[in-house]
Amino acid sequence: MTTRLNPYLSFRDNAREAMAFYHSVFGGNLNTSTFGDFGASDDPAEKDKVMHSMLEAPNGLVLMGADTPNSMDHNPGDNISISLSGDDEAELRGYWDKLAEGANVAEQLSKAPWGDTFGMLTDKFGINWLVNIAGQPQQ
């Protein structure tokens, strides 16, 4: 198996909703397990929280996420950005359009000084996304 970089997102109480949203954006298979499924929490209020979820998109993208137990700190957006890059403009624009729904767009998807098309946004779950569509190589 090839080594993959898998972003892992932490949420407080809405991992199920967030991962379902990303599933609607990227497609593929979403598997979710709760703390209760594994008896992993002594707190009955956490039994239905997501302990682990993994989204595997048809094109090989992998995204993982979980709810943060109440006993742990949770600071959304402090130190994570997810970068989507490539040269399939239709695919990347499609992701951008879906991620932009309800998002705070910091930089519109547009021509960047380095020749690519680039945009930045914080989605409705507080996750920072960077989208970079490779420009045509210089001749």
Q: pLDDT, tens digit, for every residue of 87-116?
A: 999 999 999 999 999 999 999 999 988 889
Res. 137 pLDDT band, cuts 50 70 90:
low
Residue 33, φ and ψ in degrees, nearest 5: -125, 145
Q: Which class is domain 8-67? A: alpha beta
| Window from 1-10, 69-78, 118-127 with minimum mean pLDDT | 1-10
Classified by CATH at the fold level, domain 81-133 comes out as 2,3-Dihydroxybiphenyl 1,2-Dioxygenase; domain 1 (3.10.180)
Q: What angle do CA 43, 52, 29 make, to 5 degrees?
A: 145
* 79 has a pLDDT exceeding 70: no
What is the domain partition of the chain in residue ranges? Answer: 8-67, 81-133
Question: What pLDDT, on the 0 to 100 scale, is given for residue 71?
Answer: 86
| Res 1: pLDDT | 42
Is the pLDDT at 119 greater than 50, yes or no?
A: yes
User: Which pTM was predicted?
Assistant: 0.77
